[in-house]
Structure 1
Amino acid sequence: MTNRTTQTVVHFSFPFLLPGFDAPQPAGEYRVDHDEEAIEGISRLAWRRVGAFIHLPAIAMPGSRQQMVPINPTDLEIALEKDHKQS
């Protein structure tokens, strides 16, 4: 089975909290990795998301400790939508 990882950058204008986080994260830009696998047995190439990870801290935040935290993509979309409505 073929796998791939795509990266995106998301922007939060306000502090946010995702399920499973111990504390709110500050506003900023965050790199998100989406792990996907190819769906076999169809006539054209398609991908299925099998995991998503957010990189902490934010891109512009100095810090020696970097971590990738697994997240639910739906929770991320809800948090981004809430953030944009606050603007």
Structure 2
Amino acid sequence: MQRVFTAAKKKAGIEKVGGIHSLRHAYATHQLEAGMHIHKLQHQLGHRSVHTTSRYVHWVPNYREVSEAGIDLVAALEQVDE
């Protein structure tokens, strides 16, 4: 897979260094930024321990705020349904 990815980057003219694991890292970081709960991300990434997943949190400086905002949004939607 790495060779296919590298060939696709070369064909697209992308010179930035990084492999498939960089995509995985970017996905995890963006999901946390969007407010995904860390346990859901843990499951998606297939990590046995949430401590492994928590390594991505340091890339999201306001993770707690973003996470809590997502929870508040869900709570607000539940109130609309009532």
Q: TM-score, normalised by structure 2?
A: 0.28
Q: Which has the larger radius of gyration?
A: 2
Which structure shows the higher helix fraction? Answer: 2
TM-score (normalizing by structure 1): 0.27
